[in-house]
Amino acid sequence: MKLSTRDRLGDILSYAFMAVMFVFFSWPLIWLLSMALRTRKEVFLGVARLIPKYPTLENFTMVLTSSQFPVYLINALKLSCLSAVGCLIIAAPAAYAFSRFDFKGKGAWMLGILAFQMISPLVIMVPLYRYMSRLGLIDSHFGTVMVYIALGVPMVTWLLKGYMDGIPKSLDEAALIDGCNRLSVFIRIILPLSTPGVASAFIITVIAGWSQFLVPFLLITKDSLVPIGVGIFQYAGTQNASTIQVLAAACLISVVPAIIAFLALQRLILSAMTAGAVKG
Amino acid sequence: MKKSLLAALAAATALGCLPVAAEDLITSDRVGPSDAPKKMVFRLTGDGPSSTDPTWAAGYSKLYTQFINNHPGWQLELQMMTGDISQEQARMLEQAKAGHAPDCAAVDSFVLPLFKQAGVLKSLSPYFKKEEIDQLFPFVREGVTGKDGQIYAWWWSTDLRVLYRNKEIVPNEPVTWADTKAAGLKSVEAGMEGILFNGSRYEGTAFDWLGNFWGQGGKLVDDAGKPIFADAANRDKFVKAVNYYRDLVESGAAPKRVTTIGNYDDLNAAAVAGTTALFVGGNWQLRQLQNSMDPEEFAKWTFSMLPGITADQRSTGTGGWTVAAFSSDPEKVEMCAALAREIYMGPANALQEQLPTRADLYDKYDVFKSEANQTFAKALKVGQARPGVLIYPEISNQIQIMMGKVLTGAAATDAAVDDAYKASLDAYARL
Amino acid sequence: MSARAMSSRLPFVGAAGRHNRVPSPYPWLMPVILVMGLFYLYPVIDVFRYAFTDLTLLGGEGHYTLSTFANVLTRPELQQIVWVTFIFTAGSVIGQQLLGLAMALVVVRSENRHLFGTTILRTTALIAWVVPGIAGGIIWKMLFNEAPFGGLNSLLRFAGMAPVQWLSDPDVVMWSVVLSNIWRGTAFSMVVMYAALKAIDPSLYEAAEVDGANGRQRLFFVTLPQLRPAILVNMILITIQTLNTFDAIISLTGGGPGRATEVLSLYTFNVVFRNYDLAAGSVLSILMLIISLGLALVYASFLPKEEKA
């Protein structure tokens, strides 16, 4: 391997850029962690006590024992994963059709689907609540997941379509000539080649589901069904409840399962990407 | 970092699992045996067994256990409410109309009129004696009574605003606005931030400040509920009260950051951190200060009635929580009334030192004989509740917007007040 | 063997295959149509219906009227709110797109050169992204807190610099909000850009190398043109996301001071949940829809035209 001065300069610039970005993205989290580990007395000492003198885990135990936090976390994980899987199942065929077929009004269909994304869930919420309550889907994880899916499908369709566009059409056509039908082309060729796109769409929907607030806030009232996005808000709760250090611990805990899931997935995603390249 | 988090997670999960051996009478969303035939759904705030203050949580758990033991055959399903009151109450209203409301719920006193008007509440009159109702403070009684003379909620706690101060830095009670400004400036000289108050987009911003307007005899709305706060009779008072706050910021007696304060905890934080010696806060904060300060530090703090434009034109906003019934099952309505009576009317006041709404309860419980609580009770006499009208939330919203513009110097006081008034009238016309 | 190599060996199958069968797209679209129709379309139609009424949350059936449109569109505050929304959206979208692209480029380059730290950087950015909106607002509120013990000001004081009025100065607050939004949202653009970069045909770079292109030329003549569709789609998506953002702002500034950070979505929220004015809220959400749609069309016009069969 030859190392030119230009490459070395590039490496230094890369490191410098990554360092700056790392500070930008990590400082709020470091601050949060520092707060969460402090006792009541040290909270107001600012950056001088970035590393607390008397670190404590009490705030974490308080959050995890005093309320239903673990249940909130499990609910959020369930809702966001189910909705991400559902989204992919529903959006992938449509994305394939948009990527491969020529049909009348294709552009209009695509914009129409995107237009759904543009309608702020805010105002939909009141009619949505009335509608779902008529369907008897209040306090039901099924109903909530279906709404998450409806919210996520437009973006996933667009992302997957964009990704599939990058896969040469001649591949399908070769297979079609070999006697495959469209469905098996889609399942055997296009989907495996789209793994990186599918993986990133999956992460995106899981995370969108994870931080959903309005939908579960309206559709779920039973505390045992509430996901974390609403749970943390309930926790920040009443005027005589919250204190900075406990809230910081709650915020951190709300992120931890997602981080773990992501770290686990990341390996999967990376291997999927490399596998795709080799197989292709 | 990950390790300690995981450790905490594991520890907490273990702790959470231990007591499950025998069926708990109280879980986070149920009180009473899970196989009890009759069930009432109660939606509550942090004023219950899941309060984040351990003492209060334990106290409430005891009260709820006693309550459910007194009512065999019943279980309560508890639903938690979030902290964003206007959003939360709008949701509950929508649920009530769809027939999905809880059987019984905590309703903030200032949104009670919405619920009364929407006709979703059930009368609690049959379950309270006339003498009990007569004992309620007048503004409380008016608040819960409907057009037909029946009571539609039980208002069990009230609160008010006072001026907290660190005696070491501000030894004398500021009685007038001028005193307050002088005290603020003096505290700045002593290295403090100056006087603090809520000034951002937050209900407390309007509410905590309104005492300055009401103290001069100002009125927000007329008898029909139409905004009149900047009509010929009130405009001058309103502008004066706004300019009082504006002057505090412009003179440096209050820091510019008051426009970012939208939480009573921020005020506690500054007091505990020792960066302020003066702030406008709620009566419940006294106990919070005590809990988070060293005793010798807490001993330096005291409070007094909110200052007025003159010493005898003082007032304060009063709020509080009610319990109301939505169920169409009379048995559940009765149960809801029993809950209000047996847990909240008295015992809960004593537990949390939340001021009762009945004059006689101040003598019944020893905690309210403390000097501090006697002072609060005295200040309640000049207290004024927010007007129970539909337009109030929007008036409050407009006051918050106006306050932000004025305190940052983005607009002249007169123009900002006129904008707020016009917007409130427009919104009123659309209701 | 790479996918591209295979396709280049079968150059003329394309036209023949396509003309022989014209498959109907509808079976493929059915799941989307069903789910969206069942769980979303009906409420959306209701929003359009409500816009032509004077409905409130407080009950009553309401009457059909056009006056809500007239009332909402002539409100004096609307102009400022649209302007604030514009600044917030433009700042966030440009910031997230540029930063996301830069990060993806640097991460891909560093991975190729086996530099240390790419995983850490990527993971940190992604953590910021999984923070729920409300929690994000709470975190940045702690950082921007202007009290002497606030997260950024205590750092500045520590370094001997003057504190900044992050949230109380109406001229600064919008940039603080944009900063917090860039912090939270950049990872999305990074993921999209990263996937798109990985999908670029390596033979293009080999060809460029042969032609003697330097790094900058490769960036401008290979990478960016190849990324154009992905960038535009990403811009459309984050523009819509940003326009709809309100949870992070509500817990950070509440829209204040005054109306300095009250964006259209937050205004809509306030109109529905504070004024209980369902009809006006519906008009506002249609306005938001029109703005998003307009922007999407503008972006889409930059998309490379698909070749016609």
- Whether B17 shows a pLDDT value over 80: the answer reads no
Subunits in contact with chain C (3 or more CB pairs closer than 8 Å): A, B
pLDDT tens profile B200-242: 988 899 999 999 999 999 999 998 889 999 999 999 999 999 9
Return d(Cα C204, Cα C208) in angstroms, integer.
Answer: 6
Q: In the numeric block, which tokens belong to residue A271? A: 């291997």
Q: What pLDDT shows up at residue C17?
A: 42
CB C87 within 8 A of CB C95: no
Given CA atoms B194, C259, C262, A24 in this order, what sign does their dihedral have? negative
Parallel, antiparallel or unpaired: strands B321-325 and B154-155:
antiparallel
Shortest CA gap C276–chain B (Å):
8
Parallel, antiparallel or unpaired: strands B38-44 and B104-108:
parallel
Q: In terms of CA atoms, which chain A residue is nearest residue B14?
A: A65
Which helix or strand (DSSP H or E) is residue A226 part of? Answer: none
CA distances from C229 to A194, B327, C226 (A): 17, 56, 7
Q: How confident is the model at residue B12 (pLDDT cuts 50, 70, 90)?
A: very low
pLDDT tens profile A88-121: 999 999 999 998 888 888 888 888 888 777 776 7
pLDDT tens profile B293-333: 889 999 999 999 999 999 999 999 998 899 999 999 999 99
Least confident of A214-223, B185-194, B392-401: A214-223
- The question of ipTM being above 0.95 is answered as no
Q: Which of B97, B120, B250, B260 has the most C C-beta neighbours within 10 Å, making it the best mutation to test the interface with C?
A: B260
For the purposes of burial, counting CB atoms within 10 Å of the CB of B241, is it exposed (0-12), middle (13-18) or buried (19 or more)?
buried
| C114 Cβ contact list (under 8 Å, min separation 6) | none
CA-closest candidate to residue C2, choices A124, A278, A101: A278
Q: What pLDDT shows up at residue A231?
A: 81
Q: What pLDDT shows up at residue B1?
A: 38
Q: In terms of CA atoms, which chain C residue is nearest residue A89?
A: C31
Provide the CATH topology of domain B20-152+319-381. Answer: D-Maltodextrin-Binding Protein; domain 2 (3.40.190)
- Give helix C224-244 / helix C264-273 axis angle, nearest 10°: 20
Q: In terms of CA atoms, which chain C residue is nearest residue A43?
A: C149
Q: What is the mean pLDDT of residues A138-159?
A: 90
Q: What pLDDT shows up at residue B5?
A: 39
Least confident of A217-221, A234-238, B178-182, B245-249: A234-238
Q: In terms of CA atoms, which chain B residue is nearest residue A237?
A: B83
Helix, strand, coil abundance in chain A, percent, nearest 5: 80, 0, 20
| A17 Cβ contact list (under 8 Å, min separation 6) | C102, C106
User: Domain spans of chain C?
Assistant: 87-265
Return d(Cα A156, Cα A160) in angstroms, integer.
Answer: 6
Which helix or strand (DSSP H or E) is residue C55 part of? Answer: none
CB B348 within 8 A of CB B337: no
Q: How confident is the model at residue A269 (pLDDT cuts 50, 70, 90)?
A: low
- Whether A128 shows a pLDDT value over 90: the answer reads no
pLDDT tens profile C44-59: 888 889 889 888 877 7
Any idea which architecture A61-279 has in CATH? Orthogonal Bundle (1.10)
Per CATH, domain B161-315+387-430 is 3.40.50.300: no
Q: Give the CATH class of C87-265.
A: mainly alpha
pTM above 0.90, yes or no: no
Subunits in contact with chain A (3 or more CB pairs closer than 8 Å): B, C
Q: In terms of CA atoms, which chain B residue is nearest residue C145?
A: B260
Subunits in contact with chain B (3 or more CB pairs closer than 8 Å): A, C
pLDDT tens profile A222-251: 778 888 888 877 766 543 444 778 888 888
Q: Which residues from A are below 8 Å from C43, CB to CB? A: 124, 127-128, 130-131
In chain A, positions 108-137, which contact chain C (CB-CB < 8 Å)?
Answer: 109, 111, 113-124, 126-128, 130-131
| B249 Cβ contact list (under 8 Å, min separation 6) | B255, B256, B258, B407
Residue range(s) occupied by CATH 3.40.190.10 in chain B: 20-152+319-381, 161-315+387-430
Return d(Cα A179, Cα A158) in angstroms, integer.
Answer: 29
In chain C, positions 10-69, which contact chain A (CB-CB < 8 Å)?
Answer: 10-11, 13-14, 16-18, 21-25, 27-29, 31-32, 35-36, 38-40, 42-44, 46-47, 50, 57
User: Domain spans of chain A?
Assistant: 5-56, 61-279
